[in-house]
Chains A and B, each alone.
Chain A
Amino acid sequence: MKDEPEIRIGFYVCHCGTNIAAMIDCQAVARYAAQLPFVAVSRDYKYMCSDPGQELIQRDIKEHALNRIVVASCSPLLHEHTFRNATEKGGLNPYFFHMVNLREHNSWVHSDGSKATAKAFAQIRAAIARVPHHKALEVLQVPIHPDVLVVGGGIAGIHAALTLANAGKKVYLVEREPTIGGHMAKFDKTFPTLDCAACILTPKMSQVKSHPKITLWSFSEVVKLDGYVGNYQITVKHKPRYVNEDLCVGCLECIPACVFKTPKFPDEFNQNLGKRKPVYIPFPQATPQVVLIDPEVCLNLKTGKCKQTCVEACGDRQAIDFDQRETFDDIKVGNVIVATGFKTFDAHRIPQYGYGAFPNVFTSLEVERMINTSGPTSGAIVGRDGKHPDTVGFILCVGSRDEKTNKWCSRTCCMHSMKLAQLIKEHCPRTEVYIFYMDIRAPGKGAEEFYDKSLRMGIRFIRGRVAEVTDWAVTPEEEGRLVVRCEDTMAGFVRRIPFDMIVLAIGKEPQADAQDVRRLFNMSCGTEGFFLERHPKLAPVSTFTDGIFIAGACQGPKDIPDTVAQAGAAAAEAMVLIDQGHIEIEPNTAHISEVDCSGCKSCLPLCPYTAIAFIETTKKASINAALCKGCGTCVAACPSGSITQNLFEDDEIFSEIAGVLAYE
């Protein structure tokens, strides 16, 4: 510090009316500070945060050539910004300021004035010892690229993409399935209004496809993300569908022309209840309206020996391309919205419910497809034995609220099951429908009314966790049927009720590859594996990485209204950054001295934001300030002391330690 000007500290202690002054002798504090090293001005004042208080600082900076400012008042979380501004207005770098918390951490929590004053002496000694080490810092401004990537084309991704695009922002929507629509596209009706899911979803899907501001990449996946808020570089992989998307017009003529005359392969979209051909479209309103060819079963792709009748049917359009390979696109965006949704619980994991063992045990999603008029049974409820059931039993909380599988409530299964029960009743009023539940969770608008309606429709509710589903009949009535054994906790005895069909209300789980996606986008997961929001109430769609937002069931189980609301919120958050044009980064970032670093790589695994990179040319580590969030973990862990954190330098903290402990 040889060539630097002499340190001249201005010290101010605030009375905060009587909030501080009633407990701490502020004049004594000011007198005490006046005789500490480098203190040029020491004052006490009624309200430092008031305009006159701030002007006092500004005037003193000029009149007394101050170059460091210490204010002892309230919490820095409250007024640090205020006094930094005042320091800056006085002509100093704002980071030459430091704050002492005399109110929240002292006068308000102590009751002995002399001890509180003695503690105040220690607190200000620390700050006055610290500030000489302060350095002038610059706030880093990072420009925000205006384009946005939306990952996942379910209702959340669709809504977020449309919201942004309608605001004039360029959006890339990437969906790994051949069509957008997600789970909602599989639904028949939506609770509690029972409006047709397709009627509300498909118009939005086609808007996505036709929107001039949206680039829709279906059957594609994000494989790489580099960069930081405002400046993400992303690589998207397009999987081969063996059909040229630009040439296919969606006439579907190739499907009947396929050499397989009848569909014979399991149809994933219909939960494998139906069949499809090697060339297919997942469902009639699939978006984009482009067929694809399944290389696992296509005769030509498997054996190279096929008459290629599909190519013939396609004719001049020449859309079918058996030589198609994976392709990649590199894009730049400023923000990313992750809306990758959920997966349903695998009912095989609870063997006592007989899924897979008894043909007439179905999952709720299978029944959803069945009840859909465009589904595999054209809307008819039929068992795998081909019979229409007279009695249907729904088992709730399958893979939810269960210590052995998933502890959380999946939030929609009660309502979803009641919806299916009502639809079954509507289709076939004679059907007896039972719902086995632990608690009926019907919060939200219109939900409790929906429950009432279910009761009025004659759906029977039995409270109790089902023990098992068995085909072991003990009465002639049970013969050939599925018996639910369950303690009826309302009636207080164990029931056996025979059914023709059992529906398991399967819960929601994080996607199987949620951990990979989490790492890809630098996010965190909660213990259950759903993506973690920055704050459940204050930042519910933000993540710990700036410019990465989450929406929908990837953050936790939720229904469609909540999902859409979150998607809108995520779009709004992205727009805030885009319209600001840049983001300011608090300069408390860490940096590595290249000369000092030995390249030991110890710091690299410690950074949750992958802000530290090993530079192959220098064989040293380096921190990207735009990625660094300023936690200082690497600084504490650098074994050779070669990492420094602005505002929290080792020397600053050592001085504070010495300051609070210095003897009188």
Chain B
Amino acid sequence: MNNEPFEPRIVAFFCNWCTYTAADLAGVSRLKYAPNTRVIRVMCSGRIDPQFILTALAKGADGVLIGGCHPNDCHYAEGNYKMLRRFQLLKRLLQDFGVEESRVRLEWISAAEGDKVKSVINEMTEQLRALGPLGMPAKFAAWDQEVEELQHQVDEASETEAAHA
């Protein structure tokens, strides 16, 4: 397992009407792309809560891909603009957290653009493969090593005391 080359894991949030449908089209067209992405369907990119993106990163995603309808094409009129606005600040926030820019990506992919699903996923997979893992679960474990040592000291001291009493 450890000898295998690093395969990034990408969580994708695709809107039902454009990007999810485009991914279906990629399938119907038998386009081949990297198997690193797992798609979660939402009705609109406007539904994508920044908490989802942070959760995906915290739970072990190496990248997050957001797919919505092109500007002016949103099935719900303006949901994609809501996502676009959030994305602008989220990008900066993630930068401040030291998360590389290429890890979280927003793409407008219309229902007709099956080939764009392929090219975006392949490109992102390659970029993340080069960048290496984000590996938040492992990081959390490493960070928390420093607090695992003290418990037994406290326990010992109290137990000694109790024995004295």
Give A131 to B32 CA distance when docked, in angstroms.
Answer: 30
A75 with B24, Cβ < 8 A, contacts A101-B39, A544-B77, A633-B76 known: yes
CB of A133 within 8 A of chain B?
Answer: no
CB of B78 within 8 A of chain A?
Answer: yes
CB of B60 within 8 A of chain A?
Answer: yes
CB neighbours of B47 from chain A (8 A): 631-633, 635-636, 645, 648
Nearest CB of A to B2, in Å: 13
Nearest CB of A to B58, in Å: 9
| Interchain CB contact under 8 A, B72 and A526 | yes
Nearest CB of A to B86, in Å: 8
Q: Mark B29-42, 1 if CB is under 8 A from A, else 0.
A: 01111010011111
CB neighbours of A653 from chain B (8 A): 40, 42, 49, 52
CB of A508 within 8 A of chain B?
Answer: no
Instruction: Tell me which residues from 49 to 83 in chain A have a Cβ below 8 Å from any Cβ of chain B.
Output: 75-78
| Interchain CB contact under 8 A, B24 and A77 | yes
Which stretch, A110-118, A252-260, A476-484, touches the partner chain B? A110-118
CB of A663 within 8 A of chain B?
Answer: yes
Kindly identify which residue among A78, A103, A633 contacts B79, using a CB–CB cutoff of 8 Å: A633
| Interchain CB contact under 8 A, A629 and B27 | no
Consensus secondary structure, chain A interface: helix
Question: What residue of chain A has the Cβ atom nearest to residue B20's Cβ?
Answer: A77
| Interchain CB contact under 8 A, A650 and B49 | yes
Q: Mark B11-50, 1 if CB is under 8 A from A, else 0.
A: 1000010001101101110111101001111111011111
Give A112 to B52 CA distance when docked, in angstroms.
Answer: 29
Nearest CB of B to A635, in Å: 6
Give A123 to B23 CA distance when docked, in angstroms.
Answer: 15
CB of A599 within 8 A of chain B?
Answer: no
| Interchain CB contact under 8 A, B35 and A116 | yes
A524 with B77, Cβ < 8 A, contacts A635-B47, A654-B55 known: yes
CB of B82 within 8 A of chain A?
Answer: yes
Instruction: Tell me which residues from 385 to 434 in chain A have a Cβ below 8 Å from any Cβ of chain B.
Output: none
| Interchain CB contact under 8 A, A656 and B40 | yes
CB of B128 within 8 A of chain A?
Answer: no
Kindly identify which residue among B31, B56, B82, B86 contacts A657, using a CB–CB cutoff of 8 Å: B56
Give A663 to B60 CA distance when docked, in angstroms.
Answer: 9
CB neighbours of B42 from chain A (8 A): 632, 648, 653
Kindly identify which residue among A101, A635, A636, A660 contacts B11, using a CB–CB cutoff of 8 Å: A660
CB of B104 within 8 A of chain A?
Answer: no
| Interchain CB contact under 8 A, B52 and A657 | yes
A631 with B46, Cβ < 8 A, contacts A75-B24, A105-B39, A661-B59 known: yes
Residue among A108, A115, A633 with most chain B CB within 10 A: A633
CB of B9 within 8 A of chain A?
Answer: yes
Kindly identify which residue among B21, B51, B76 contacts A631, using a CB–CB cutoff of 8 Å: B76
Instruction: Tell me which residues from 95 to 149 in chain A have a Cβ below 8 Å from any Cβ of chain B.
Output: 101, 103-106, 108-112, 115-116, 118-119, 122-123, 126
Size of the chain B interface, CB-CB below 8 angstroms: 44
CB of A608 within 8 A of chain B?
Answer: yes
Give A78 to B50 CA distance when docked, in angstroms.
Answer: 29
Q: Mark B59-78, 1 if CB is under 8 A from A, else 0.
A: 11100000000001001111
Instruction: Tell me which residues from 93 to 150 in chain B have a Cβ below 8 Å from any Cβ of chain A.
Output: 118, 137
A109 with B82, Cβ < 8 A, contacts A544-B76, A632-B44 known: no
CB of A658 within 8 A of chain B?
Answer: yes
Give A632 to B76 CA distance when docked, in angstroms.
Answer: 10
CB neighbours of B55 from chain A (8 A): 654, 657-658
Residue among A75, A631, A632, A636 with most chain B CB within 10 A: A631
Kindly identify which residue among B16, B33, B38, B46 contacts A126, using a CB–CB cutoff of 8 Å: B38
| Interchain CB contact under 8 A, A608 and B77 | yes
CB neighbours of A630 from chain B (8 A): 43
CB neighbours of B26 from chain A (8 A): 104, 109
CB of A606 within 8 A of chain B?
Answer: yes
Question: What residue of chain B has the Cβ atom nearest to residue A638's Cβ?
Answer: B49
Give A608 to B81 CA distance when docked, in angstroms.
Answer: 12
CB of A637 within 8 A of chain B?
Answer: yes
CB neighbours of B44 from chain A (8 A): 631-633
| Interchain CB contact under 8 A, A661 and B61 | yes
Give A126 to B23 CA distance when docked, in angstroms.
Answer: 18
CB neighbours of B50 from chain A (8 A): 636
| Interchain CB contact under 8 A, A112 and B35 | yes
Kindly identify which residue among B32, B38, B41, B60 contacts A119, using a CB–CB cutoff of 8 Å: B38
Kindly identify which residue among B20, B56, B72, B77 contacts A527, using a CB–CB cutoff of 8 Å: B72
CB of A566 within 8 A of chain B?
Answer: no
Q: Mark A607-638, 1 if CB is under 8 A from B, else 0.
A: 01000000000000000000001111101110
| Interchain CB contact under 8 A, B40 and A660 | yes
CB neighbours of A588 from chain B (8 A): 43
| Interchain CB contact under 8 A, B46 and A632 | yes
CB neighbours of B56 from chain A (8 A): 657, 661
A631 with B52, Cβ < 8 A, contacts A105-B23, A116-B35, A119-B38 known: no
Nearest CB of A to B78, in Å: 6
CB neighbours of A126 from chain B (8 A): 38, 40
Give A506 to B32 CA distance when docked, in angstroms.
Answer: 51
A661 with B11, Cβ < 8 A, contacts A109-B27, A115-B35 known: yes
Nearest CB of A to B30, in Å: 6
Nearest CB of A to B137, in Å: 8
CB neighbours of A608 from chain B (8 A): 76-79
| Interchain CB contact under 8 A, B33 and A109 | yes
| Interchain CB contact under 8 A, A104 and B32 | no
A606 with B82, Cβ < 8 A, contacts A105-B23, A109-B31, A115-B35 known: yes
| Interchain CB contact under 8 A, A105 and B40 | no
| Interchain CB contact under 8 A, A111 and B32 | yes
Question: What residue of chain A has the Cβ atom nearest to residue B25's Cβ?
Answer: A104
Give A108 to B32 CA distance when docked, in angstroms.
Answer: 7
Give A398 to B40 CA distance when docked, in angstroms.
Answer: 49
Nearest CB of B to A507, in Å: 22
Interchain residue pairs A-B with the least CB separation, the first 10: A104-B27, A632-B47, A633-B46, A631-B76, A608-B77, A660-B38, A631-B44, A108-B27, A636-B49, A104-B24
Q: A104-B26, A109-B31, A606-B82 are in contact. List 7 more A-B contacts (CB 8 A).
A: A108-B27, A109-B30, A116-B35, A123-B38, A629-B76, A633-B78, A658-B59
Chain B contact residues, CB within 8 Å of chain A: 9, 11, 16, 20-21, 23-24, 26-28, 30-33, 35, 38-44, 46-52, 55-56, 59-61, 72, 75-79, 82, 86, 118, 137
Between-chain CB contacts (< 8 Å), 18 pairs: A76-B41, A78-B24, A104-B24, A105-B27, A108-B30, A110-B35, A111-B32, A527-B72, A632-B42, A633-B44, A633-B47, A636-B49, A645-B43, A648-B42, A653-B42, A654-B55, A657-B56, A658-B59
